[in-house]
Amino acid sequence: MKVPLHSPGPVGPTGRGPALPGPSRRGLLRAGLAASAVGSVAALGGCAATVGPVGERPLVPPKAPDENVTLTYWTWWPALQAVADIWNAEHPDIQVRAVTIPGGLDGGYAKMFNSLVAGNQPDLAQVEFFQIPSFLVENGLEDLGRYGALDHAHLYDEWQWLQAAHIGGHYGIPVDSGPLMYFHRSDKYEEWGIGEAPTTWEEYADAARRVAADTGGSEHIESFPVGDADWLAGLCMQAGARWFTTEGGEWTVDFVDEASVRVAEFWEPLVHERALDLTHAVWSNGWFQALQRGTIGTWTVGSWGDAIIRGNDPDNPGRWKVAGLPQWPGEPRREGTWGGSASVVLSGAPHPHEAVLFAHWLSTDQRAVDAMITECGIGWAASEQVNEDSVRNRGADPFFSDQNYTGIIADATRHIPSEWVWGPTLSRTKNHIGDAFRAAVADGTSFVDALAAAQRNTIEDIRHKGLSVRSAS
């Protein structure tokens, strides 16, 4: 049966309702990006002459009533055409052709930037939330607020909607996200004497040390994801960090604020003491096998991990449970995210009106969302209502120990900060974090120093883009 996911009333610190863009709501340097965009577009090899700054571009009119158009959508989901065909059957005048490209950091974003230079950009593209500011620095996206996107804002989860709100405009329609969840082997937790999932990080650390000690290091509560910047960002977000803020036309970068230092200093001793598994890299075959055997008993990951866990261990329902993240004592409850993407319209695309119509349908039509769940394996959908009514929300789930795990995820989303902002050079920032933490784990050195090194390199990257930037410390 379907289960209501949210109780009436405010959700999170800012409540719900239409989420209209406005600099006072977010800390991103909206004005700074806009002011520097003209100069930074030179990195696209002359693309500025083609697309120009957002506010100076003429509005593209909608198609004529008797005109037929075909939209091209670049995505890393091979099965998205099956979803688009639902739309195509009902919209003979606006057809959608899904084209599979590599994942963003595996070549997809380079392909998009190259298309802007060549002038053969698609009508729509799938872009991760963290990458949107990088496209804005290069004048790479259309402001969808100019094409009716804001009319639909109230239908989306606020924290997801705000991920695409920058420079007083709106540059994407959220498709899916990944609230961080605590997946764990309940049978192993009983065997280890832990019982239920830890409710605080202190309890987690105690349990990690206990499992490693009691098993002589042959079993661990979890494998440490060495160098995974997405995982680290989600946990710092949960602790209350804000890596990027802006004021007076200037970026401020702060990877060593109190919250981030707390996270780094928490994980460092667990890693150096070998209380966590370092033998099996997350995503490796050995790691998947360890999850099956139960020698690794936890995976802290975005909600999209449910399908991976189920696929890795399909014949053993009832061994896994899910919970929200452990919390920091003395702090309000917060959760974090890992992943999430939006439908964007690249600058100069020929049919932005029609693109927004399809993008909104893709994210809010129940048939479309259910098809993306079953065909594409998407994470948490962008609209509260479609999550409540989705094929994923069927009440007690035998695989997850008869939990209504969809309801557990929904509860966690109420506590995801809406003020988190991604910086304008995140692809490189993620590389800096990965390099610094891999070195710190290998050398037994400070995780806080690793954060500081990543911060220094990120500041240099932003400065090289021609943006005003400073360190918070």
* pLDDT attached to residue 167: 76
Record the pTM. 0.87
Is 82 within 8 Å of 375 (Cβ atoms)? Answer: yes
Domains 29-177+340-396 and 179-336+420-471 share a fold: yes
CB atoms within 10 A of CB 59: 9
CB atoms within 10 A of CB 119: 10
CA angle 404, 410, 412 (to 5 degrees): 110
**Extents of the domains making up the chain:** 29-177+340-396, 179-336+420-471
For the record, the structure tokens of 398 come out as 């035998």
Q: Which CATH superfamily includes the segment(s) 29-177+340-396?
A: Periplasmic binding protein-like II (3.40.190.10)
CATH fold label, 179-336+420-471: D-Maltodextrin-Binding Protein; domain 2 (3.40.190)
* pLDDT attached to residue 20: 31
Q: What percent of the chain has pLDDT over 70?
A: 88
* pLDDT attached to residue 405: 87
* pLDDT attached to residue 433: 98
Task: State pLDDT tens for residues 388-410.
Answer: 889 888 889 999 999 998 899 99
pLDDT beneath 50, residues of the chain: 1-51
